[in-house]
Structure 1
Amino acid sequence: MSTNAGDSYSAIVNAPVTGQLAVGRDIAQSHTALGGAAQQLSTEQLSQLAGLLTALRSEVATNAPPEQREEALSKVTELENAIAAEDEPDLVTMDHIRGWFTKRLPQFAGAVVSLIVHPLVGQLVTAAGESLVADFHRRFG
Protein backbone atom coordinates (compact mmCIF):
# COMPACT_ATOMS: atom_id res chain seq x y z
CA MET A 1 0.00 0.00 0.00
CA SER A 2 1.36 3.38 -0.88
CA THR A 3 0.44 6.37 1.20
CA ASN A 4 0.54 10.05 0.54
CA ALA A 5 2.37 12.25 3.01
CA GLY A 6 -0.95 13.94 3.82
CA ASP A 7 -2.91 10.74 4.56
CA SER A 8 -4.28 10.83 8.07
CA TYR A 9 -7.08 8.83 9.64
CA SER A 10 -8.71 9.19 13.01
CA ALA A 11 -11.90 8.06 14.70
CA ILE A 12 -13.79 8.87 17.84
CA VAL A 13 -16.19 6.25 19.11
CA ASN A 14 -18.67 7.43 21.71
CA ALA A 15 -20.44 4.12 22.25
CA PRO A 16 -19.53 0.56 23.15
CA VAL A 17 -18.10 -1.43 20.25
CA THR A 18 -19.25 -5.03 20.16
CA GLY A 19 -18.06 -5.89 16.67
CA GLN A 20 -15.24 -4.99 14.35
CA LEU A 21 -14.05 -1.44 13.85
CA ALA A 22 -11.48 -0.26 11.35
CA VAL A 23 -10.20 3.12 10.33
CA GLY A 24 -7.93 3.63 7.36
CA ARG A 25 -7.55 2.85 3.71
CA ASP A 26 -7.96 -0.44 1.82
CA ILE A 27 -9.23 -2.34 4.84
CA ALA A 28 -10.70 -5.80 4.38
CA GLN A 29 -12.46 -7.49 7.27
CA SER A 30 -14.38 -10.69 7.66
CA HIS A 31 -16.36 -12.20 10.48
CA THR A 32 -17.41 -15.78 11.02
CA ALA A 33 -20.31 -16.26 13.41
CA LEU A 34 -21.29 -19.89 13.70
CA GLY A 35 -24.67 -20.48 15.27
CA GLY A 36 -27.42 -23.02 14.83
CA ALA A 37 -26.28 -26.62 14.77
CA ALA A 38 -22.65 -25.57 15.26
CA GLN A 39 -23.43 -24.59 18.86
CA GLN A 40 -23.15 -28.31 19.66
CA LEU A 41 -19.39 -27.97 19.30
CA SER A 42 -17.07 -26.93 22.09
CA THR A 43 -15.64 -23.41 22.10
CA GLU A 44 -12.31 -24.77 20.85
CA GLN A 45 -14.01 -26.72 18.06
CA LEU A 46 -16.08 -23.68 17.05
CA SER A 47 -12.89 -21.65 16.89
CA GLN A 48 -11.24 -24.31 14.73
CA LEU A 49 -14.21 -24.48 12.36
CA ALA A 50 -14.35 -20.68 12.15
CA GLY A 51 -10.63 -20.71 11.33
CA LEU A 52 -11.18 -23.19 8.50
CA LEU A 53 -13.94 -21.00 7.06
CA THR A 54 -11.80 -17.89 7.42
CA ALA A 55 -8.90 -19.61 5.64
CA LEU A 56 -11.17 -20.62 2.74
CA ARG A 57 -12.64 -17.12 2.55
CA SER A 58 -9.14 -15.61 2.54
CA GLU A 59 -7.91 -18.00 -0.15
CA VAL A 60 -10.90 -17.16 -2.36
CA ALA A 61 -10.56 -13.42 -1.73
CA THR A 62 -6.88 -13.52 -2.62
CA ASN A 63 -6.86 -15.92 -5.56
CA ALA A 64 -10.26 -15.87 -7.28
CA PRO A 65 -10.43 -14.00 -10.58
CA PRO A 66 -11.75 -10.46 -9.96
CA GLU A 67 -14.84 -11.02 -12.10
CA GLN A 68 -15.86 -14.05 -9.98
CA ARG A 69 -14.55 -13.01 -6.57
CA GLU A 70 -17.73 -11.47 -5.17
CA GLU A 71 -19.93 -14.41 -6.15
CA ALA A 72 -17.35 -16.92 -4.88
CA LEU A 73 -17.15 -15.15 -1.52
CA SER A 74 -20.94 -15.21 -1.38
CA LYS A 75 -20.81 -18.98 -1.90
CA VAL A 76 -18.36 -19.32 1.00
CA THR A 77 -20.85 -17.44 3.20
CA GLU A 78 -23.62 -19.76 1.96
CA LEU A 79 -21.45 -22.74 2.86
CA GLU A 80 -20.89 -21.33 6.34
CA ASN A 81 -24.63 -20.86 6.79
CA ALA A 82 -25.33 -24.37 5.47
CA ILE A 83 -22.86 -25.97 7.88
CA ALA A 84 -24.31 -24.08 10.84
CA ALA A 85 -27.96 -24.18 9.75
CA GLU A 86 -30.60 -23.82 12.44
CA ASP A 87 -31.31 -27.49 13.27
CA GLU A 88 -28.85 -29.50 11.23
CA PRO A 89 -26.33 -28.98 8.43
CA ASP A 90 -28.02 -28.20 5.08
CA LEU A 91 -26.60 -30.92 2.84
CA VAL A 92 -28.49 -29.79 -0.26
CA THR A 93 -26.85 -26.37 -0.12
CA MET A 94 -23.45 -27.84 0.72
CA ASP A 95 -23.72 -30.12 -2.32
CA HIS A 96 -24.78 -27.21 -4.53
CA ILE A 97 -21.80 -25.11 -3.41
CA ARG A 98 -19.40 -27.97 -4.03
CA GLY A 99 -20.81 -28.27 -7.56
CA TRP A 100 -20.62 -24.51 -8.12
CA PHE A 101 -16.93 -24.41 -7.25
CA THR A 102 -16.21 -27.58 -9.22
CA LYS A 103 -17.75 -26.08 -12.37
CA ARG A 104 -16.76 -22.42 -12.07
CA LEU A 105 -13.60 -22.25 -9.94
CA PRO A 106 -12.18 -25.78 -9.80
CA GLN A 107 -8.95 -24.53 -8.22
CA PHE A 108 -10.95 -24.12 -4.98
CA ALA A 109 -13.01 -27.32 -5.21
CA GLY A 110 -10.55 -29.35 -3.14
CA ALA A 111 -10.56 -26.79 -0.32
CA VAL A 112 -14.36 -26.69 -0.34
CA VAL A 113 -14.68 -30.48 -0.25
CA SER A 114 -12.02 -30.69 2.50
CA LEU A 115 -14.12 -28.36 4.61
CA ILE A 116 -17.36 -30.23 3.91
CA VAL A 117 -15.86 -33.60 4.89
CA HIS A 118 -13.89 -32.22 7.84
CA PRO A 119 -14.42 -34.22 11.06
CA LEU A 120 -16.02 -31.22 12.77
CA VAL A 121 -18.70 -31.02 10.08
CA GLY A 122 -19.04 -34.79 10.37
CA GLN A 123 -19.66 -34.37 14.08
CA LEU A 124 -22.51 -31.95 13.34
CA VAL A 125 -23.98 -34.35 10.78
CA THR A 126 -23.73 -37.27 13.18
CA ALA A 127 -25.46 -35.29 15.93
CA ALA A 128 -28.38 -34.67 13.55
CA GLY A 129 -29.14 -38.38 13.23
CA GLU A 130 -28.70 -41.48 11.11
CA SER A 131 -30.81 -40.36 8.16
CA LEU A 132 -28.64 -37.26 7.70
CA VAL A 133 -25.49 -39.36 8.06
CA ALA A 134 -26.73 -41.68 5.29
CA ASP A 135 -27.54 -38.70 3.05
CA PHE A 136 -24.12 -37.17 3.81
CA HIS A 137 -22.34 -40.39 2.79
CA ARG A 138 -24.43 -40.64 -0.35
CA ARG A 139 -23.55 -37.07 -1.37
CA PHE A 140 -19.97 -36.77 -0.20
CA GLY A 141 -18.74 -40.25 0.62
Structure 2
Amino acid sequence: MRYFGPDILTVADELTEAYVEIFTAPPWEHRDPEATRAAFGERLRTDARRPGFRAILAISDDGKLGGFVRGWTTEAPFRTDRVYGKVTRRLGADRVNEFLVGAFEIDELGVRPNARGSGLGRRRLYAATATATPPRPAAGRGC
Protein backbone atom coordinates (compact mmCIF):
# COMPACT_ATOMS: atom_id res chain seq x y z
CA MET A 1 0.00 0.00 0.00
CA ARG A 2 1.38 3.40 -0.98
CA TYR A 3 0.03 6.72 0.20
CA PHE A 4 0.13 9.84 -1.96
CA GLY A 5 -0.85 13.48 -1.68
CA PRO A 6 -0.17 15.95 -4.48
CA ASP A 7 2.80 13.75 -5.42
CA ILE A 8 0.25 11.37 -7.01
CA LEU A 9 1.25 12.98 -10.29
CA THR A 10 4.57 11.07 -10.10
CA VAL A 11 2.58 7.88 -10.81
CA ALA A 12 -0.12 9.48 -12.97
CA ASP A 13 0.59 7.27 -15.99
CA GLU A 14 0.22 4.01 -14.04
CA LEU A 15 -2.89 5.26 -12.24
CA THR A 16 -4.44 6.47 -15.47
CA GLU A 17 -3.89 3.11 -17.19
CA ALA A 18 -5.54 1.30 -14.25
CA TYR A 19 -8.41 3.79 -14.30
CA VAL A 20 -9.01 3.26 -18.01
CA GLU A 21 -8.92 -0.54 -17.64
CA ILE A 22 -11.39 -0.41 -14.75
CA PHE A 23 -13.78 2.26 -16.01
CA THR A 24 -14.09 1.18 -19.65
CA ALA A 25 -14.99 -2.42 -18.74
CA PRO A 26 -18.57 -3.49 -17.99
CA PRO A 27 -20.75 -1.77 -16.96
CA TRP A 28 -18.86 1.20 -18.48
CA GLU A 29 -17.92 -0.49 -21.78
CA HIS A 30 -19.68 2.27 -23.71
CA ARG A 31 -16.93 4.72 -22.67
CA ASP A 32 -14.21 5.50 -25.17
CA PRO A 33 -10.81 4.57 -23.66
CA GLU A 34 -8.98 7.58 -25.14
CA ALA A 35 -11.62 10.07 -24.00
CA THR A 36 -11.67 8.41 -20.56
CA ARG A 37 -7.87 8.62 -20.37
CA ALA A 38 -7.83 12.31 -21.28
CA ALA A 39 -10.68 13.26 -18.92
CA PHE A 40 -9.21 11.36 -15.98
CA GLY A 41 -5.73 12.81 -16.54
CA GLU A 42 -7.13 16.33 -16.50
CA ARG A 43 -9.27 15.64 -13.42
CA LEU A 44 -6.34 14.06 -11.58
CA ARG A 45 -4.14 17.13 -12.15
CA THR A 46 -6.92 19.34 -10.77
CA ASP A 47 -7.86 17.05 -7.87
CA ALA A 48 -4.25 16.65 -6.71
CA ARG A 49 -4.28 20.35 -5.81
CA ARG A 50 -7.40 20.08 -3.60
CA PRO A 51 -6.89 20.64 0.13
CA GLY A 52 -6.60 17.31 1.92
CA PHE A 53 -6.15 15.31 -1.31
CA ARG A 54 -4.86 11.82 -0.79
CA ALA A 55 -4.75 8.59 -2.73
CA ILE A 56 -3.90 5.10 -1.59
CA LEU A 57 -2.67 2.68 -4.21
CA ALA A 58 -2.33 -1.09 -3.99
CA ILE A 59 0.86 -2.05 -5.76
CA SER A 60 1.78 -5.72 -6.07
CA ASP A 61 5.26 -7.16 -5.57
CA ASP A 62 5.77 -7.08 -9.34
CA GLY A 63 4.99 -3.34 -9.38
CA LYS A 64 1.53 -3.54 -10.96
CA LEU A 65 -1.17 -1.26 -9.63
CA GLY A 66 -4.12 -3.44 -8.56
CA GLY A 67 -6.45 -0.77 -7.21
CA PHE A 68 -6.80 2.67 -5.72
CA VAL A 69 -8.92 5.01 -3.70
CA ARG A 70 -8.71 8.77 -3.86
CA GLY A 71 -10.45 11.69 -2.21
CA TRP A 72 -10.07 15.03 -0.41
CA THR A 73 -11.49 17.23 2.29
CA THR A 74 -14.88 18.64 1.31
CA GLU A 75 -14.71 22.42 1.22
CA ALA A 76 -17.24 25.19 1.61
CA PRO A 77 -19.02 26.33 -0.35
CA PHE A 78 -20.28 22.88 -1.29
CA ARG A 79 -19.84 22.25 -4.99
CA THR A 80 -22.73 22.11 -7.44
CA ASP A 81 -21.14 20.14 -10.31
CA ARG A 82 -21.30 16.37 -10.83
CA VAL A 83 -23.65 14.88 -8.20
CA TYR A 84 -23.15 17.58 -5.55
CA GLY A 85 -26.27 19.57 -6.45
CA LYS A 86 -28.40 16.45 -6.08
CA VAL A 87 -26.87 15.80 -2.64
CA THR A 88 -27.74 19.32 -1.51
CA ARG A 89 -31.31 18.98 -2.80
CA ARG A 90 -31.74 15.66 -0.95
CA LEU A 91 -30.08 16.57 2.35
CA GLY A 92 -30.59 20.32 2.45
CA ALA A 93 -27.87 22.93 2.76
CA ASP A 94 -27.84 22.88 6.57
CA ARG A 95 -27.18 19.14 6.76
CA VAL A 96 -24.60 19.32 3.99
CA ASN A 97 -22.72 21.99 5.92
CA GLU A 98 -23.06 20.11 9.20
CA PHE A 99 -22.14 16.61 8.06
CA LEU A 100 -20.16 16.87 4.81
CA VAL A 101 -18.19 20.11 4.71
CA GLY A 102 -14.85 19.49 6.39
CA ALA A 103 -15.14 15.69 6.13
CA PHE A 104 -12.99 13.43 3.97
CA GLU A 105 -14.78 12.71 0.71
CA ILE A 106 -14.11 9.53 -1.25
CA ASP A 107 -14.19 10.46 -4.92
CA GLU A 108 -13.33 7.15 -6.58
CA LEU A 109 -12.36 3.63 -5.72
CA GLY A 110 -11.28 1.18 -8.38
CA VAL A 111 -10.01 -2.41 -8.44
CA ARG A 112 -8.62 -4.13 -11.52
CA PRO A 113 -10.54 -7.24 -12.57
CA ASN A 114 -7.76 -9.66 -11.59
CA ALA A 115 -7.80 -8.33 -7.99
CA ARG A 116 -11.57 -8.26 -7.48
CA GLY A 117 -12.99 -10.41 -4.71
CA SER A 118 -9.74 -10.28 -2.73
CA GLY A 119 -10.80 -7.54 -0.30
CA LEU A 120 -8.41 -5.06 -1.89
CA GLY A 121 -11.11 -2.41 -2.39
CA ARG A 122 -12.35 -2.78 1.19
CA ARG A 123 -8.80 -2.43 2.52
CA ARG A 124 -8.20 0.71 0.42
CA LEU A 125 -11.48 2.22 1.63
CA TYR A 126 -10.67 1.44 5.26
CA ALA A 127 -7.17 2.90 4.93
CA ALA A 128 -8.56 6.09 3.38
CA THR A 129 -11.18 6.62 6.06
CA ALA A 130 -9.36 5.32 9.14
CA THR A 131 -7.33 8.50 9.53
CA ALA A 132 -9.89 10.92 8.10
CA THR A 133 -10.74 13.94 10.18
CA PRO A 134 -14.41 13.86 11.18
CA PRO A 135 -16.51 16.88 10.23
CA ARG A 136 -16.63 19.66 12.73
CA PRO A 137 -19.64 19.64 15.10
CA ALA A 138 -22.32 22.16 14.23
CA ALA A 139 -22.63 25.19 16.47
CA GLY A 140 -24.60 24.38 19.59
CA ARG A 141 -24.15 20.60 19.27
CA GLY A 142 -22.00 18.53 21.56
CA CYS A 143 -19.74 15.77 20.36
Q: Which one has the bigger helix percentage?
A: 1
TM (normalized to structure 2)? 0.28
Q: Which one has the bigger strand percentage?
A: 2
TM (normalized to structure 1)? 0.28
Structure exhibiting the larger radius of gyration computed from Cα positions: 1
Question: Greater relative contact order (Cα 8 A, min sep 6): structure 1 or 2?
Answer: 2
